[in-house]
């Protein structure tokens, strides 16, 4: 749902309140999913994908996502 449509919802209306709740849940999921991609882009510089074949690109993305997981857990790993 577009943000302008969401602002027009009447939260006293039961159906509109349900739509608002659904949009809040989707926004929460979206925020959790977008954070690892920010790490890939900013920390590791993965901005463009070159055509190298599906296997090589898949291997690079898998490696970068694994490194991103380590990056997000670096404080916990540093304490251990």
pTM, to two decimals: 0.64
pLDDT over 80 (residue 7)? no
| Three-class SS state of 72 | helix
Report the number of distinct structural domains present in the chain. Answer: 1
* Per-residue model confidence as pLDDT tens digits over 34-64: 988 999 999 998 888 888 899 999 999 999 9
| 33: containing domain | 3-79
- CA proximity to 43, closest of 76, 71, 75, 78: 71
């Amino acid at each position: 749902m577009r943000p302008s449509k969401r602002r027009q919802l009447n939260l006293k209306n039961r159906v509109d309140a349900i739509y608002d709740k659904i949009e809040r849940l989707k926004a929460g999921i979206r925020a959790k999913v977008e954070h690892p991609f920010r790490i890939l882009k900013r920390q590791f510089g993965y901005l463009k994908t070159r055509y190298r074949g599906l296997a090589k690109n898949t291997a690079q993305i898998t490696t970068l996502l694994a490194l991103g997981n380590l990056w997000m857990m670096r404080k916990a790993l540093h304490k251990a």
